[in-house]
Structure 1
Amino acid sequence: MLPTDLLIHRHRGEELTPIRLPINDSNLAIATNVIALFRQAQHQTQGELNRQLQELEGDSPNYRIKRGFAHLLKSAHCTFEILSPLEPEPLRQRVFSLAAQTTPSLQATPQILQQVAEKLSQELGRDVHPEQIRTGLYADLAENRMLTQFQEPTPESLLHRYNLAQVQGIFYRASHLILNVHRNDPGEYKLLFRYLKLFQLMAYIEGDADHGFTVTIDGPTSLFSPSTRYGLAIAKLIPALLHVTKWHLTATLQIKDAYTQRQRTPHFTLEPDADLVSHYPPGKPYDSMLEQSFAERWQALKTDWVLEREVDLIPIPGSVMIPDFRLVHPDGRSFLLEIVGYWRPEYLQKKFSQVRQSGCNHLILAISQRLNLEKAGVKLDNVPAHLIWFKDKLNPKEVLAAISP
């Protein structure tokens, strides 16, 4: 995503519109030039890369576009590493301790670097050269980190990512959002609600899969203390929403007018035909390594029970529950399984409240023993579910024992 100073928006009455770039030859040429600069800058420092980017910007009026492209490439396509024979901080301690034993001089510097290089060569079992010591001393500074990998995108995909980032930036200052999703495939609803869960967004959900859902989401400016992290979480939802077919989003924003310094409350609307392209995959098999590990271990069991990934939504007042798995037996018996792993107290309180409201008596809760439910204010009384406790990994045999007569 883009920082606030690289967002380009236009006010039209009570509407706020992000400026998006057309996919034309001119903009593709700019993207191509920026990508080529990054390709050539591999194995150079970030400081050198920044210097070349400044030269590319020059005094061009579209410098913010180039700077936006560069920001997206750095954050999503580049790997910057600290290259030093030893971690820079202990390396500095060695060099400075040795230097303190002699009178400071330009002539003494090569000797000190040579001594440290020889000592490290013996310790590490490989050749370390004085120049590596010199460059490694401050290799942990951002400008000295080395561009070691660059996953080159196409110019067109970079333009799409830029346009999406401009739209995402709208939601940094949202007070609340209303999302209407309707007449969609059930799998799309589940994907959307899983992303709501993943980003831990405060949402109130009404409706059902047959008639559609209305999702009201609190924005970052609705909090007692506006949170930049929460604003980013809202923005991260937008690429996921693009995988849903039919929806309409309205956001109310809180923005200070640059001239009058007064708060304004413009609106922003978004629909599927906005010509935006998501960089998120359309879905992933599992939400966590814990779920994936359980599913893989279940396959090794010899049992008639079938483990299913796609399950029905459980409507509850103001929300929905999406259990992780369904267990189905050929004789018609069925159980839902929810794995409660490592989450914050607020999430745990909400999760157990949902379980109570669901009234679902064929639900199994597998709870990690690492969770301090008492400290989180969670009580296990009146929970209409079978409870299973596990340590590091959930054992499928324990689940099978809980559902077998």
Structure 2
Amino acid sequence: MLPSELLMHRLNGETVIPKRLKLDDKTQAIATELIAIFETCKGQSQGELDRQLQEMEGDTPDYRVKRGLAHILKSSFSTFEILSPLEPQELRRRVFELATQVIPSQQATAETLAKLADQLTQELNREVFPSQIAQGLYADLIENRILTQFDKPTAEDLIHRYNLSQVQGIFYRASHMTLKVHRNDPGEYKLLFRYLKLFQLMSYIEGDVDYGFTITVDGATSLFGTSTRYGLAIAKLLPALLHVTKWSLQATLVEKDPYSKKKRTGLFTLDSECGLVSHYPAGKMYDSAIESSFAERWTDLKTEWKLEREVDLIPIPGSVMIPDFRLVHPDGRSYLLEIVGYWRPEYLRKKFSQVSQANCENLILAISERLNLEKAGVKVSENTGMTLWFKDKLLPKAVLQAIEP
């Protein structure tokens, strides 16, 4: 996403309209030139990359567009690394320590670097050259980081990402948002709700699979004053929403007038005909390392029980519950599995309230022993299904033993 200083929008009354680039020859030429600069600078320092970008930017009036496109290339497609034989801070200490033993001179500097190169060659069991030490001394400065990898996008992909980022920036100052997702494929709902859960967004959900859902999400300004942290989480939801076929949203924004410095209210609307393109995968995803590890371990088991990731939505008042997995046996038996790992007390209270309201007798609740449930104010005894405790990792064998004693 783009930082606030690179966001551009205009007002039409109270309606906020973000800047969008056209997929025309002029814009694609700019994108292509920027991509070529990044490719040319592979293996070079960020300082050299910035120099070439500034040269290309020049004093043209569209400098903010070029700067925004370059920011996306840096943050989303580039890998910068610190290349040094040792951590630069330690390397400086070693060099300065040796330098105090000789009288400063150009020759002494070369001898010091050569001496340390010999020492490090022995210590690291690989050849270290004086030039690597000279380069690594201040390799931790931002301008000295090396562009080691560049995942080249097409010009069209870059422009799509820019347009999406401009729209995402609108949500940085959202006080609340109402999202309506109309009759869609259940799998699309599941993916959307998983992202709601992943980004820890506080939402109120009404509706069902047949008629659609209305989702109300509280935003940054309603919860945390002027903080944009929660607004960023809302912005991250947008690429997931683009995988839903039919939807519409309205967001209320609280912005500061750049001239009067007073707060003002704005409105922003968007729907599934917006033409934005998502870069999020539409496939399966996991909400935590515990779930991912459990799924990987299950594939190594020899069992008739099948582990399914895409499970049914369980409607509950004001929300829906999406169990993490479903276990299905060829004879027709099935269990739903919900994994509760390490989370904040607020999340735990919400999660156990959902479990209680779902009232599923075939639900297995796997709970980490590290959780302080008493402090969170939750009671496991209210679970109508099966409770399974685990330590660091949830082992598939433990789940099998619970359902086939």
Q: Considering the TM-score relative to the shorter chain, is it more than 0.5?
A: yes
Per-residue CA deviations over 1:260-308 (Å, capped at 9, x if unaligned) read 2221111000001111111111122544443344334434545443332
Q: Secondary structure at the match of 1:67?
A: helix
Please state whether the residue corresponding to 1:265 is helix, strand or coil. strand
Q: What does 1:389-400 align with in structure 2 at a 5 Å threshold?
A: 389-400=389-400
Structure 2 distance, partners of 1:264, 1:226, is 13
Name 1:186's counterpart in structure 2: 186
Equivalent-residue separation in structure 1 for 2:368 and 2:245 (angstroms): 36
Deviations 1:165-223 (A, max 9, x none): 00000000100000011110111100000000000011111111111111000111111
Match of 1:342 in 2: 342
Q: Which structure 1 segments of 5+ residues have no match?
A: none
CA contact (8 A) 2:204 2:216 kept: yes
Q: Which residue of 1 aligns with 2:32?
A: 32
Mean CA deviation greater in 354-363 or 89-98? 354-363
Equivalent residue, structure 1, for 2:157:
157
Structure 1 residues 127 and 303, CA gap change in structure 2 (3 angstroms): closer
CA distance in 1 between counterparts of 2:300 and 2:7 reads 51
Provide the rounded CA distance (Å) in 2 between the counterparts of 1:84 and 1:104: 24
Could you give the per-residue CA deviations for residues 85-124 of structure 1, whole angstroms, max 9, x where no partner exists? 1111111111112223334444432222122112111212
1:16-60 Cα deviation digits (max 9, x unpaired): 000101100000000000000000011110011111110000011
Q: Which residue of 2 is the match for residue 333 of structure 1? A: 333
Task: Give the share of equivalent positions with the same residue, in percent.
Answer: 70
Partner Cα distance (2:302, 2:150) in 1: 46
Aligned to 2:16: 16
Give the structure 2 partner of residue 246 of structure 1.
246
- 1:172 is matched with 172
**TM-score scaled by structure 2?**
0.95
Q: Secondary structure at the match of 1:295?
A: helix
Q: Which residue is equivalent to 2:294?
A: 294
SS in 2 for 1:254: strand
* CA RMSD between the two structures: 1.8
- The match for 1:401 is 401
Moved more, 365-374 or 301-310: 301-310
Deviation for aligned residue 1:338: 0.7
State the distance in 2 between where 1:298 and 1:148 align: 36
Unaligned ranges ≥5, structure 2: none
- For the Cα contact (< 8 Å) 2:284–2:309, is it kept in 1? no
Give the distance between the partners of 1:6 and 1:194, measured in 2 at CA.
Answer: 30
Deviations 1:309-344 (A, max 9, x none): 221111122211100112233444332111122333
Q: TM-score normalized by structure 1?
A: 0.95
1:132 match: secondary structure: helix
Q: Any residues of structure 2 matched to 1:41-190 within 5 Å, and which? A: 41-190=41-190
Q: Which residue of 2 aligns with 1:355?
A: 355
SS at match of 1:393: coil
Q: Secondary structure of 1:281's match?
A: coil
SS in 2 for 1:381: helix
Cα distance, 1:385 vs. partner?
Answer: 2.6
- How many residues align? The count is 405
Match of 1:274 in 2: 274
CA distance in 1, matches of 2:127, 2:306: 57
1:276 partner letter: L
